[in-house]
């Protein structure tokens, strides 16, 4: 019933929008290429993996103003609508990667053990080609996390992959802010390398990591008290002789954590540490939003569920360091059955392109249903990031972040034909193929130009590895 009402409202909206569209047709046409949201798009006759309501065969999706306006068979669209025939193809929501380091000009601020003043949003690089490759793998949303070199790392940013647009358009509207924590080997070993004139950074043990976090929150609590008292005193007293306390950009985000306004995404491996962090959070009265990697989370699945933390894991990536030896591919299934919200992430520009296959593996290991496996890379990470009202499933009113796949995305033969973000096409396989000749031609012309010509032969150039800090 609710659905029908929603549809009626959608149609009513459509009619009013069409009326406006008629009068401003030329303007709409002018900006059509740039502003795809102005045009309606009808994806016709696809198999829809809705996530929220199962699989709908032979169905259409109507996209209007960047949102999903209607779902169902034989939908009607405006005469100027872009119609995409998806007969025999599958449509699923854009994949959400809950742990990414793409498009970041910096990953770790390794110097201190608490670097909560660092902000990923300050260092975004919207020209990173990995974004385009992620789109080609059906990914539309990334949780960009600070690296794991510090017990308390920097502030994260959630983005939509609007590749080619100004960086401001990437920021996911209304996504709650978060922060990265890290436990175990990374924060304690980061400064094992002894350099002359440099002291080893504290902490060097897992005990120390716990102490650093506890100390930071004690300081944050005192900081909040000092500012609250100052505000109260300043309001009560009229004289202006009260010295304001210093604003501390390191502690302010931690106060937000204490107030429940900022999500904690904690990198962790071992069961004992996971429990330590959950207890520490309980002690200070805040929640851990997600445990990242959490390879031994299956051992303490009930404790995680009880705290209400989500788990964002690898499908089958392990044994790359000592604390990663106890991982098993059944972790997603075990934690899901224990009532934990589980997602699968990439933590890698390369794996980000095939998260569909990583989700598929979770049907092979354990007994997750197709829908449960699909949720691992769609609705579940959306919930973990607090953006599930906008993305994560094919539902009327949600953002039109969608990917059209040639066959079921759990098939190794499946590939993405078209990826939509907010109703606009940001990847299209046919367009990509068509542009290749043009790009080759441009390259050939550019290489002829004087500044691009090679100087006289000399020694072989040094290899240029991509500077990426360790981010596990």
Binding residues for another protein (CB under 8 A): 105-112, 115, 117-120, 122-127, 129, 146, 149, 154, 166-167, 190, 193, 195-198, 240-244, 246-249, 439, 442-443, 446-447, 449-461, 464-470
CB of 179 to another protein, least distance (A): 13
d(CA 109, CA 256): 21
State whether the Cα torsion 292-296-297-298 is positive or negative.
Answer: positive
CB of 247 to another protein, least distance (A): 5
CB of 290 to another protein, least distance (A): 21
Taking the least distance from each CB to another protein, the nearer of 2 and 198 is: 198
d(CA 254, CA 177): 12
Residue 227, H or E segment: helix 206-236
Report whether 96 contacts 424 (CB < 8 A).
Answer: no
Contacts of the segment 62-65: beta carbons below 8 A, 24+ positions apart: 62/10, 63/400, 63/402, 63/420, 63/423, 64/10, 64/13, 64/14, 64/17, 64/40, 64/423, 65/17, 65/37, 65/38, 65/423
Taking the least distance from each CB to another protein, the nearer of 19 and 467 is: 467
DSSP for 130-155 reads: HHHHHHTTTEEEEEE---SSSSEEEE
Taking the least distance from each CB to another protein, the nearer of 190 and 384 is: 190
d(CA 289, CA 308): 8
CB of 57 to another protein, least distance (A): 42
CB of 286 to another protein, least distance (A): 22
CB of 181 to another protein, least distance (A): 16
Q: Residue ranges of the alpha helices (H) in 398-460?
A: 429-448
CB of 172 to another protein, least distance (A): 18
Q: How many CB atoms lie within 10 A of CB 6?
A: 16
Taking the least distance from each CB to another protein, the nearer of 228 and 367 is: 228
Taking the least distance from each CB to another protein, the nearer of 117 and 258 is: 117
Taking the least distance from each CB to another protein, the nearer of 153 and 366 is: 153
Taking the least distance from each CB to another protein, the nearer of 57 and 197 is: 197
For residues 393-416, one letter each, b for 16 or more C-beta atoms within 10 angstroms of the residue's C-beta and e for the rest, the string is: bbbbebbbbbbbbbebbbeeebeb
């Amino acid at each position: 019933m609710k659905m029908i009402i929603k549809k009626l409202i959608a149609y009513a909206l459509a009619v009013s929008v069409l009326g406006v569209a008629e009068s401003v047709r030329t303007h709409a046409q002018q900006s059509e290429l740039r502003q795809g949201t102005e045009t309606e798009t009808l994806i016709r006759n696809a198999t829809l993996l809705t996530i929220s309501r199962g699989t709908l065969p032979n169905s259409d999706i109507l996209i209007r103003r960047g949102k999903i306006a209607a779902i169902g068979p034989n939908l009607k669209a405006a005469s100027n609508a872009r119609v995409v025939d998806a007969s025999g193809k599958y449509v699923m929501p854009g994949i959400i990667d809950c742990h990414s380091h793409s498009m970041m000009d910096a990953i770790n601020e390794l110097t201190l053990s608490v670097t909560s003043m660092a902000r990923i949003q300050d260092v975004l690089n919207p020209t990173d080609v990995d974004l385009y490759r992620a789109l080609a793998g059906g990914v539309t949303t990334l949780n960009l996390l600070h690296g794991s070199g510090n017990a308390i790392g920097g502030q994260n940013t959630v983005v939509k992959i609007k590749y080619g647009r100004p960086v401001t358009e990437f920021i996911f509207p209304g996504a709650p802010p978060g922060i990265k924590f890290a436990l175990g080997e990374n924060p304690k070993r980061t400064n094992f390398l002894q350099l002359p004139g440099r002291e080893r950074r504290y902490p060097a043990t897992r005990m120390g990591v716990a102490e650093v976090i506890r100390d930071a929150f004690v300081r944050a609590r005192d900081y909040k008290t000092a500012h609250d008292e100052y505000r109260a005193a300043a309001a009560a007293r009229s004289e202006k002789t009260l010295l304001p306390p210093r604003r501390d950009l390191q502690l302010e985000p931690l106060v937000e954590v204490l107030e429940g306004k900022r999500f904690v995404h904690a990198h962790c491996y071992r069961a004992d540490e996971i429990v330590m962090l959950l207890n520490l959070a309980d002690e200070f009265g805040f929640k851990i939003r997600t445990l990242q990697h959490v390879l031994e989370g299956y051992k303490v699945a009930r404790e995680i569920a009880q705290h209400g933390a989500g788990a964002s894991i690898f499908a089958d990536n392990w044994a790359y360091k000592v604390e990663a030896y106890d991982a098993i591919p059944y972790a997603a299934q075990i934690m899901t059955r224990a009532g934990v919200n589980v997602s699968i992430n990439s933590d890698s520009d390369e794996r980000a392109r095939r998260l569909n296959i990583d989700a598929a593996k979770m049907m092979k290991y354990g007994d997750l249903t197709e829908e449960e496996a699909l949720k691992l890379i769609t609705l579940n990470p959306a919930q973990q990031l607090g953006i599930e009202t906008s993305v994560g499933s094919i539902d009327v009113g949600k953002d039109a972040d969608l990917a059209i796949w040639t066959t079921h995305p759990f098939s190794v033969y499946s590939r993405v034909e078209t990826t939509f973000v907010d109703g606009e096409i940001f990847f299209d396989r046919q367009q990509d193929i068509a542009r290749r000749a043009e790009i080759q031609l441009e390259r050939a012309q550019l290489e002829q130009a004087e500044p691009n010509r090679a100087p006289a032969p000399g020694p072989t150039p040094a290899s240029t590895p991509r500077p990426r800090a360790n981010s596990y």
